[in-house]
Structure 1
């Protein structure tokens, strides 16, 4: 079930092209009748005032299901804000039907969707910040992670793949995956992007 929350008088055709069974409502409260605990909720931020956007995010969070924010002017500051408020996805309101389907696939499986440019900036910021922290004990998760796990986490923050991490640390990719599974469990992160955000305090603990 896909529920679009929008103030538009008519739903864009691409929404229904992506999800033929999609429903459009006017407020998050109306979405609660059909989306609580199941499906995906899409918040159309077009023309909303900042105070209303915050209210919608708070109301949508109570629905206990993946929330994706659609923005007519996507930007990094808003991306950080919506993720810290509990959203799982953030994309342009004019996204094509195929892209909406891709977003849904990611967030419904526990992942996060955001533009590649934002990811690159997060990873670059992570690399810059981590390069200024020579001692592992200075990391906010140093008491939870082993020294080897900290090394793996740092490589992830720099954007390294499992293969690259294995080569850099002279371990197998299987061992890298095992370390990542432990890191995710200890930090509460569900994927690499969330791990980077947590390691660098870019988003709050609600992400």
Structure 2
């Protein structure tokens, strides 16, 4: 099913022309009914008139996606700023079309979004690539900082930190490493001091990526810090 949401009969007619071969179309002309229909019908595709939303478009769309996370939204507008359009994509919109788009292009946009693609203007593609590159650089910077911190730990402290990152309790860690829970607590106190954190939740967040990829057993004869088996 595809839901059309617009108070403009002209837009609804134009959309129908582009998707005339689809039988399960449902039109909404009252903004107050959109929320309930999303919950009730959970449509895979929603064609949404930007002017249909009254205020705070990004927040409204985020709320709609929470109500129906499987619904992919394609927005139609006479034109908005690149900044607002990019903000809406980051909020979860899958496609953005100008009101002047042809019927044939509407069908292509819907088909692309159904395949899991984004229908995005070329002007925003470079912006997307730039933000992804920046995000990757920031991620690498954080990973280097975390690795530098973990290098300050002893081998036993590193073992315990990784196990905490995997969600194991002090009792489970003690049993796995054949030490007492009191010893685990003592190591954790030293780990918190070295990493300048206050509790095991922060420790788990700090090492979660490392913990998620561990798959080998610690070897006490190895001077490096290997990983832990499942």
TM-score, scaled relative to structure 1:
0.54
Structure 1 unmatched runs, 5+: 144-185, 187-207
The partner residue of 1:76 within 61, 75, 82 is: 82
Larger relative CO (CA 8 A, sep 6+): 1 or 2?
A: 1
Q: Which residue of 2 aligns with 1:65?
A: 71
Does residue 23 of structure 1 match 2:26?
Answer: yes
SS of 2:80's equivalent in the other structure is: coil
Residues 33-182 of structure 1: pairs in structure 2 closer than 5 A:
35-36=41-42, 38-46=43-51, 48-51=53-56, 54-63=59-68, 64-124=70-130, 129=134, 137-138=140-141
Matches of 2:125 and 2:144, distance apart in 1: 21
Q: Which residue of 2 aligns with 1:14?
A: 14
Matches of 1:91 and 1:80, distance apart in 2: 13
Matches of 2:125 and 2:2, distance apart in 1: 26
* Cα drift, residue 12 of structure 1: 3.9
* Cα drift, residue 23 of structure 1: 2.4
Distance 1:78 1:55, change over 3 A: same
Matches of 2:38 and 2:52, distance apart in 1: 22
SS of 1:46's equivalent in the other structure is: helix
* Cα drift, residue 126 of structure 1: 5.4
Matches of 1:119 and 1:100, distance apart in 2: 19
Q: Note the alpha carbon deviations across 1:63-107, whole angstroms, 9 max, x for none.
A: 222111112113321222212222111121221111111111111
Matches of 2:121 and 2:81, distance apart in 1: 10
Structure 2 unmatched runs, 5+: 147-211, 213-230
SS of 1:23's equivalent in the other structure is: strand
Contact 2:4 2:12 in 1 (8 A): no
SS of 1:50's equivalent in the other structure is: coil
